[in-house]
């Protein structure tokens, strides 16, 4: 008769970013609920789903945040970036614009979330909708981009056909956990605080 | 398969429909022991799929499905299978709501809130009995239907400690909240209930550890927040500071004796501090609001009743009277398609049937012109028009995911989806600057469904966007203003809740964003959305009534939020999960009751009166013409202080002596009022508004009492340290000394008796 009080579950916060319509909500739901529906609505505001997964024999809870992709609403989204352990950047393989936007999504995330070690913060890139015929962004181009960003893991997915979803989220969970543990390590040695650490991310975010 | 032990099972536990459209679904409720944990599970009886236990956490409310026939006047429902099963590990269950009618809502510690379940025979006694073998259950003092769960061990230690009288109840409670309710999301991972930290430790002790180790992150967090939004960060920190100070039992007493036989109620100043709200005007109510009256609503306006409002030509005799009637009860579905055209300005109230015929024909020609403009655009033209292309692609994506579960828009190649597309594209040509913004398709879909006419729907949509266009401002200033207006309201209606939100970094009310952007459409069933919208369009009984509706929802959730000690993340989740479960008629009653309450109360701050378009009362008009919330407050705050304001033009934001574990130092925070920012009332038609965040343009300074220069010397003690940091911070904002190094007092503090850790442990930062 125990409520499992001795166990400590790690909570991993994952943020999914990308242009409106690339399939962020669909990917999240495919992973968490194993369902695809064409009845999902455009995301307004933000929400998260949680799912427990095993990462190398460790039970972790993933808290996956889904925000609206339309540019105008980004000033809201940034409120949720803080404390993320991994950032998933999604583009739609049939939309070059959504691929081009990856850079600005990544930059915006780094500015707003100001992770301790921006260079080594875990990102994962997903090229979604590979089930569609009219693909316009080649794998090679996407891989190139990921290599240039210090070897960001890249997956080609379909939320609709459930292609590569498990694999991608396993990697996301593993990298998030590594990030999480890194932080724990650092936190055991508070002497290491460098107050100037996030200066490189300094930027005024007021849009006025 | 893992081994399981079934310890409780109850069949015929039904979901509770919240609207007429929804049908109740029967299921089986069980408590199961699995490995080292116990789980509560509910599964739809005829859900034969998903036999595996893959539903680790179920996040959304049960999906509701509806069938409307095309006239919309009759609604029949068909149940769908695969209502989401529920599975909650007991350790994750924070509380539940259980009514005497036997309806049960499970609320998780992370805010996830499950759909209501109905016990057969209204009897949940045995369920509760089994549950209490695993967890300690305590009924909320504020809400008799709310039950809070604690780990048994923790509960026992708690009780022993309080029996020994070592820790006073009040301060202990507040400390636990501080320790466990982390605020910035970066500390999420260490969040959790007491029982998650370590079962072998006394709670207080084990709980301290994570905060100390989280120190570096919190410092970095504070600094980066400060860079991003210095004003809010500074004041949020200060307000937490107050929270701690106020929670110290001895402080209030000390204050009373310090003040001696003053005629002022010592708690007057307390309530002043309680009201500290974002924007940081103190709203000090001179008197309390009068009690909220009971409000009754009427049945919807019927054809017969409507015909009595019309003259022989078919014009409406007294539009105001009719609108008032629509406000009180809404419109019968059979009348909607006609009356919405009036409410949304497509028809004039006074027009005769003949005139309306003319109007329809004129508007049809106009609409067709607009339609031609985009439909004849060649691919080549499009290539050179990126603005058009972007809008078009957004619309195409969005109409395909707008209300597709509603029968009117259901299925592949549904022609109504094409109509949505046409209307939105035509709107882009009608108003290219605004174009298309996400959320608009949500506003259009019900209109097309009701009018069942492309052209009428277009012009009604134009009328709706005229009302809500500020929701779609490029810089979101319209949304920010509404959220701010809502803050003002909550601060007046429920100062306790506002100060709770303040202390849990939720005062920005971001979790209401979706409510406001699409006027509650995502939160309500279809028929309720139609009802609410016509009520709002009546523009009765005041401006911005939708904010009162929002306030009514928050009022409904406030106990659950506070007693579960939810913070930003959990509140957002809880609020998102209450979607589709609101009782609209009840909400409209409370919203109207709040309105009546405000009207009947004296001393409602001018900002709130202006927000609702109510006349300023004489009591709030004395003094200068420029009456603002802060000024009303300042009289009171000044008088609680021994010294008078050192800055002539200052308005006091909040003031008060403070103490923390024996180290005492008093300080006063001022903001200059040479710049009036309280008049940002919301006007739905208003065009101005470059109030964008405004973080940087507030002049403020922190002045430690008896030491006007915060950075001079080294103020001693925790309070001194924090004050000094914030002092420089605020000066920095005020631009008085741009060269000030923000970090130096912090790093100095780090070398100073571990005071900074202290501050972090106490969650000042
Ligand atoms: N063919 C195909 N369509 C997909 C896939 N994933 C998503 N879609 C469709 O793409 C559209 C957008 O998907 P969403 O998941 O709503 O996109 P989103 O990124 O969440 O968009 P926002 O909420 O607006 O930011 C929907 O119509 C989906 O049905 C996929 O893998 N394949
Ligand atoms: Mg989405």
pLDDT digits (tens, 9 = 90+) for B508-537: 999 999 999 999 999 999 999 999 999 999
Q: Which residues line ligand 1 (CB under 6 A)?
A: A 18, 20-26, 38, 40, 42-43, 68-69, 128-129, 131-132, 158-160; B 397, 400-401
Has residue A89 been placed in a domain? yes
- What is the rounded average pLDDT of the residues B156-184? 47
Identify the burial level of B172 via C-beta atoms within 10 angstroms of its C-beta, where 0-12 means exposed, 13-18 middle and 19 or more buried.
middle
Say how far apart CA A175 and CA A121 lie, in whole Å.
Answer: 9
- What is the rounded average pLDDT of the residues B7-21? 82
Among B119-123, B461-465, B725-729, the minimum mean pLDDT is found in B725-729
**Residue B598, Cα to own-chain centre: how many angstroms?**
20
Say how far apart CA B525 and CA B515 lie, in whole Å.
Answer: 13
To test the contact with chain A by mutation, choose from B35, B216, B403 the residue with the greatest count of A C-beta atoms within 10 A, namely: B216
Report whether pLDDT(B255) > 50. no
Nearest CA to A106 among A8, A15, A203, A207? A15
Confidence at residue B514, expressed as pLDDT on a 0 to 100 scale: 95
Looking from the CA of B38 toward its CB, the CA atoms found within 13 Å total 18
- Pick the more confident residue, B73 or B88: B88
pLDDT digits (tens, 9 = 90+) for B659-705: 333 332 322 232 333 333 333 334 444 333 333 333 333 333 333 33
Has residue A3 been placed in a domain? no
Identify the burial level of B123 via C-beta atoms within 10 angstroms of its C-beta, where 0-12 means exposed, 13-18 middle and 19 or more buried.
exposed
pLDDT band at B47 (very low <50, low <70, confident <90, very high): low
Has residue A56 been placed in a domain? yes
Residue A120 belongs to a domain with what CATH number? 3.40.50.300
- A48 touches B: beta carbon within 8 Å: yes
Looking from the CA of B604 toward its CB, the CA atoms found within 13 Å total 27
> Is the CB of residue B322 less than 8 Å from the CB of residue B309?
yes
Has residue A27 been placed in a domain? yes
User: Please, what is the average pLDDT of chain B?
Assistant: 71
- A136 touches B: beta carbon within 8 Å: no
Domain count, chain A: 1
Among A135-139, B551-555, B599-603, the minimum mean pLDDT is found in B599-603
pLDDT digits (tens, 9 = 90+) for A61-85: 999 999 998 888 887 767 788 899 9
Report whether pLDDT(B227) > 80. no
Please tell me what DSSP assigns to residue B643.
S
Cβ A41–B153 below 8 Å, yes or no? no
**Residue B158, Cα to own-chain centre: how many angstroms?**
32
Has residue A25 been placed in a domain? yes
Cβ B438–A205 below 8 Å, yes or no? no
- Model pTM score: 0.70
Please give the structure tokens belonging to residue B228.
Answer: 């991003």
| Residue B398 CA, ligand 1 centroid: distance in Å | 10
Out of B36, B220, B694, the one facing A197 most closely (by C-beta) is B220
Nearest CA to B469 among B440, B447, B441? B440
pLDDT digits (tens, 9 = 90+) for B291-336: 999 999 999 999 999 999 999 888 899 999 999 999 999 999 999 9
Residue with tokens 């998780």: B108
Cβ B397–A68 below 8 Å, yes or no? no
Domain extent for A131:
11-206
**Residue B423, Cα to own-chain centre: how many angstroms?**
32
Cβ B91–A204 below 8 Å, yes or no? no
Has residue A4 been placed in a domain? no
Detail the DSSP E strand segments found in B128-204.
135-139, 146-151
- What is the rounded average pLDDT of the residues A93-118? 93
pLDDT band at A179 (very low <50, low <70, confident <90, very high): confident
Report whether pLDDT(B341) > 60. yes
Smallest Cα distance from B92 to chain A, Å: 9
pLDDT band at B471 (very low <50, low <70, confident <90, very high): very high
- What is the rounded average pLDDT of the residues A26-50? 93
The beta-carbon contacts of B634-637 under 8 Å, at least 24 apart in sequence, are B634/B282, B636/B268, B636/B269, B636/B272, B636/B284, B636/B286, B637/B269, B637/B272, B637/B282, B637/B284
- What is the rounded average pLDDT of the residues A190-203? 39
Has residue A103 been placed in a domain? yes
ipTM of the complex in this document:
0.85
Confidence at residue B363, expressed as pLDDT on a 0 to 100 scale: 97
Cβ A73–B217 below 8 Å, yes or no? no
Has residue A5 been placed in a domain? no
Please give the structure tokens belonging to residue B511.
Answer: 């979790």
pLDDT digits (tens, 9 = 90+) for A125-138: 999 999 999 999 99
Confidence at residue A102, expressed as pLDDT on a 0 to 100 scale: 97
Q: Which atom of ligand 1 is the closest one to the Cα of A132?
A: 1
Backbone angles phi, psi at A19, to 5 degrees: -55, 160
Identify the burial level of B13 via C-beta atoms within 10 angstroms of its C-beta, where 0-12 means exposed, 13-18 middle and 19 or more buried.
buried
User: What residue of B is the nearest CA neighbor of A19?
Assistant: B394
């Amino acid at each position: 008769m125990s409520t499992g009080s001795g166990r400590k579950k790690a909570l991993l916060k994952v943020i999914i970013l990308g242009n409106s319509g690339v399939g962020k909500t669909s990917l999240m739901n495919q992973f968490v609920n194993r369902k695809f529906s064409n009845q999902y609505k455009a995301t307004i505001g933000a929400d998260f789903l949680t799912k427990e997964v095993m990462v190398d024999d460790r039970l972790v809870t993933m808290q996956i945040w889904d925000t609206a992709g339309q540019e105008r609403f980004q000033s809201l989204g940034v409120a949720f970036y803080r404390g993320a352990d991994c950032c998933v950047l999604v583009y739609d393989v049939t939309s070059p614009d959504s691929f081009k936007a990856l850079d600005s999504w990544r930059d915006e995330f780094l500015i707003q979330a100001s992770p301790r070690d921006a260079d080594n913060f875990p990102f994962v890139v997903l090229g979604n909708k590979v089930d569609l015929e009219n693909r316009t962004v080649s794998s090679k181009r996407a891989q190139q981009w990921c290599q240039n960003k210090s070897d960001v893991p890249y997956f080609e997915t379909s939320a609709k056909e459930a292609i590569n979803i498990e694999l991608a989220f396993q990697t996301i969970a593993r990298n998030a956990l590594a990030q999480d543990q890194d932080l724990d390590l650092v936190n055991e040695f508070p002497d290491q605080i460098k107050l100037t650490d996030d200066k490189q991310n300094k930027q005024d975010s007021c849009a006025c | 398969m893992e081994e399981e032990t079934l310890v409780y099972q109850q069949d015929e536990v039904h979901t509770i429909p919240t609207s007429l459209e929804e049908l109740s679904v029967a299921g089986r409720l069980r408590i199961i022991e699995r490995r080292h944990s116990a789980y509560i599970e509910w599964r739809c009886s005829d859900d034969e799929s998903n036999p595996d236990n893959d539903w680790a956490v179920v996040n959304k409310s049960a999906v509701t499905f509806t069938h409307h026939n095309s006239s919309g006047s009759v609604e029949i429902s068909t149940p769908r299978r695969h209502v989401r099963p529920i599975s909650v590990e007991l350790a994750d269950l924070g509380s539940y709501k259980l009514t005497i009618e036997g309806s049960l809502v499970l609320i998780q510690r992370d805010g996830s809130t499950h759909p209501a379940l109905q016990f057969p025979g209204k009897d949940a006694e045995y369920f509760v009995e089994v549950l209490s073998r695993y967890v300690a259950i305590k009924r909320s003092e504020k809400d008799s239907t709310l039950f809070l769960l604690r780990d048994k061990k923790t509960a026992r230690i708690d009780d022993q400690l309080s029996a020994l009288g070592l820790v006073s109840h009040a301060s202990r409670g507040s400390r636990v909240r501080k320790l466990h309710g982390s605020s910035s999301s970066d500390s999420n991972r260490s969040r959790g209930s007491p029982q998650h930290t370590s079962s072998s430790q006394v709670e207080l002790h084990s709980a301290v550890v994570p905060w100390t180790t989280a120190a570096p992150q919190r410092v970095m967090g504070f600094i980066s927040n400060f860079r991003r939004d210095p004003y809010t960060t500074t004041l949020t920190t200060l307000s937490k500071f107050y929270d701690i100070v106020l929670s110290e039992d001895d402080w209030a007493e000390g204050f009373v004796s310090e003040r001696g036989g003053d005629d002022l109620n010592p708690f007057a100043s307390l309530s002043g501090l309680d009201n500290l709200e974002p924007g940081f005007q103190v709203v000090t109510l001179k008197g309390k609001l009068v009690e909220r009256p009971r409000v009754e609503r009427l049945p919807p306006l019927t054809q017969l009743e409507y015909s009595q409002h019309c003259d022989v030509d078919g014009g409406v005799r007294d539009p105001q009277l009719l609108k008032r009637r629509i406000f009180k009860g809404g419109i019968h579905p059979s009348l909607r398609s006609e009356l919405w055209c009036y409410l949304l300005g497509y028809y004039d109230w006074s027009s005769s049937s003949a005139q309306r015929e003319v109007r329809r024909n004129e508007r049809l020609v106009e609409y067709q012109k607009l339609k031609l403009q985009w439909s004849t655009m060649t691919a080549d033209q499009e290539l050179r028009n990126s603005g058009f292309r972007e809008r078009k692609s957004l619309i195409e994506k969005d109409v395909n995911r707008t209300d597709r579960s509603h029968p009117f828009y259901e299925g592949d190649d549904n022609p109504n989806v094409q109509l949505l597309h046409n209307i939105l594209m035509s709107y882009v040509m009608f108003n290219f600057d605004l174009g298309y913004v996400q959320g608009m398709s949500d506003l259009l879909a019900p209109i097309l469904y009701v009018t069942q006419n492309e052209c009428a729907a277009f012009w009604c949509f134009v009328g709706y966007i005229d009302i809500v266009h500020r929701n779609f401002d490029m810089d979101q200033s319209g949304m920010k203003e509404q959220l701010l207006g809502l803050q003002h309201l909550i601060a007046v209606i429920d100062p306790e809740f506002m100060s709770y939100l303040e202390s849990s970094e939720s005062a920005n009310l971001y979790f209401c964003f979706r409510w406001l952007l699409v006027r509650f459409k995502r939160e309500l069933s279809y028929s309720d959305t139609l009802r609410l919208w016509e009520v709002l369009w009546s523009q009765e009984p005041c401006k911005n009534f939708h904010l009162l509706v929002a306030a009514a929802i928050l009022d409904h959730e406030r106990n659950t939020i506070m007693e579960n000690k939810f913070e930003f993340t959990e509140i957002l989740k809880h609020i998102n999960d209450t979607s589709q479960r609101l009782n609209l008629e009840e909400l409209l009653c409370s919203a109207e009751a709040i309105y009546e309450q405000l009207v009947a109360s004296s001393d409602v701050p001018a900002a709130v009166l202006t927000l609702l378009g109510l006349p300023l009362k004489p009591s709030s008009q004395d003094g200068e013409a420029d009456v603002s919330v802060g000024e009303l407050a300042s009289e009171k705050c000044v008088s609680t202080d021994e010294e008078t304001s050192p800055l002539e033009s200052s308005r006091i934001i909040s003031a008060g002596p403070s103490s923390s574990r024996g180290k005492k130092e008093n300080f006063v925070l001022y903001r200059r009022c040479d710049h009036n920012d309280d008049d940002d009332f919301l006007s739905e038609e208003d065009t101005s508004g470059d109030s964008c965040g405004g973080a940087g343009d507030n002049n403020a300074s922190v002045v430690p009492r008896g030491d006007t220069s915060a950075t001079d010397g080294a103020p001693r003690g925790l309070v001194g340290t924090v004050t000094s940091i914030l002092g420089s911070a605020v000066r920095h904002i005020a631009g008085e000394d741009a060269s000030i190094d923000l970090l130096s007092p912090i790093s100095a503090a780090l070398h100073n008796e571990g005071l900074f850790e202290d501050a972090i442990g106490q969650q000042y930062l």
